[in-house]
Amino acid sequence: MASIHHCIKSGKKGNARRHSRYIGREGSHSNREDLIHTGYGNMPEWAKDNPAYFWSMADKHERANGAAYREHEVALPNELNTVQLIELAERLVRNLVGSKPYQYAIHASEGSIGKIQNPHIHLMYSDRVPDGIDRAPNQTFSRFNPKRPEAGGWRKDSGGKTPLQLCQEVTATRKLAADIQNQVLAEYGHDARVDHRSLRERGIERRAERHLGPHFIEGMGDSEKAVYAVHRSAAAADTRSP
């Protein structure tokens, strides 16, 4: 069933390359079997075919208190097959990231309860906006110079915005992601829809589902998991948009 989950995160300097390995299932994460597709784009010339190098340079040269990357983690409808999920992911990338450097991965792990696949996308991207000026890696991540752009780094898209503006952007972004998912679901003949609004905003009197966590689930018996899965499915059906 289609469900909404859209988490927007920031990653500190020193964590970008590590996180790219995680979403790409590289190194110590290569034993996981849930990776179904990866992609990247909009890299500068010095990292054109090497996103790992881009994130390493962000870790090295981004300012100490700055975000080396930002990320959209979005649940994807499990009504869609692999090809359709990739198409949806590419649309999300184009609309949520634009011209900024990015790397993404689609994971489709099997849920611990109900054994239903939980496809989702990790879309990590730089908040710095390319401007067509060639720069070395260290200059790319230096402070933007509005009077002489060629003397500074890429401008950060979040710079100079008020907390209210950033909050409004988050709401608009979540709505955009939901609209794109619904568009793809409709194109492929599925009735399910997602809604970016909270249960309260939708007028639904039900508590949001509590995240159980892997340790709690491990302690549940098979019969308990089956009962929980039935209740979860029924609750989701009641709150699904028409």
State the catalytic residues.
Answer: 22
Integer Cα distance of 175 and 194 in angstroms: 10
Q: 3-state DSSP call for residue 103?
A: strand
The encoded tokens of residue 194 equal: 């997602």
Crossing angle of helices 51-61/16-23, nearest 10°?
150
Name the residue type at position 201.
E
73-97 burial code (b ≥16 CB/10 A, e <16): bbbbbbbbeeebbbebbeebbeebb
8 Å CB contact between 111 and 47: no
- Rounded CA separation 45/137 (Å): 10
Helix (H) or strand (E) holding 123: strand 117-125
